[in-house]
Amino acid sequence: MNEVEIFISLAGTILGLLITIITFIVKLVRSSKSKKGLEQTIRISNAVLSFIRDAENFTHYSGIEKKEYVMTKANQFAIENKIVFNQNQVSEKVEELVALTKQVNCKKNSSEKAVELKNSWL
């Protein structure tokens, strides 16, 4: 083999290795960004759950006022923890969680009524 063939073979190998390394780094950076975003979403979702629990204790307030309380607390949590706050996503999550708790409470109330009805017949 002459020197030109060796040089071309070496250049091709280095180019292939370089492309592989660059691809790996790009994918690593993208996955770390999405991991960070998902971790922040989980943190704010967990915080929203506790804010909803707190708001449910407010008996003389409307649902809209309770939601505003939860949204305000969630925004404060995001600011304190340097998390990007997406109001639309948090609002949808709050509504989803409230709908779920209403559904669970409705099933719980109907099962309690069934037990009471059963006990009244005994």
* pLDDT on residue 122: 42
Question: What average pLDDT score do residues 72-77 get?
Answer: 92
Total number of domains constituting the chain: 1
The answer, as to whether pTM is greater than 0.85, is no
* Residue 44 near residue 74 (C-beta atoms within 8 A): yes
Q: pLDDT digits over 60-72, tens only? A: 888 888 889 999 9
* Residue 42 near residue 27 (C-beta atoms within 8 A): no
For residues 28-41, b (16+ Cβ closer than 10 Å) or e, as one string? eeeeeeeeeeeebb
Q: pLDDT digits over 38-64, tens only? A: 888 889 888 888 998 888 888 888 888
- Domain hosting 89: range is 3-121
Identity of the residue numbered 87 = Q
